[in-house]
Amino acid sequence: MLEILKVAVIAYVFILLTEDKMIFAWYGRLIGRIKSDWLYKPLGGCLACFGGQCAMWYYLFTHLKSYSFIDHIWFISATILTVLIIDKIMNYGS
């Protein structure tokens, strides 16, 4: 469960840092040139999509010896949900 929170926080903070005048703004501008949504969104154009990509790759790299498809889907889904919850908490009241 802690792994899910770690991946979600990293994904959320990275997306924040791609906004204008932030350290990774150059990356935000770079992917902003991509015309197709299927590539733009998972690379950072969509918070949930990017969080899902981070979770997918993290799980693959860290669970190669004990891989479970159901656990992999669970990990991705829980990370996406956690990223969206973090986003709601951070934007609460604004």
Range of the domain at 24: 2-90
- pLDDT for 93 beyond 90: no
Over residues 32-53, the mean pLDDT reads 95
Domain count, the chain: 1
Q: What is the pLDDT of residues 56-84, one digit of tens each?
A: 999 999 999 999 999 999 999 999 999 99
Q: Is residue 81 within 8 Å of residue 48, measured between CB atoms?
A: no
Closest CA to 86 of 1, 3, 2, 10: 10
- pLDDT for 94 beyond 80: no
Which two structure tokens, joined as six digits, stand for 18?
């791609």
Q: Is residue 47 within 8 Å of residue 9, measured between CB atoms?
A: no
For tokens 């791609």, the residue is: 18
pLDDT level of residue 8 (50, 70, 90 thresholds): very high
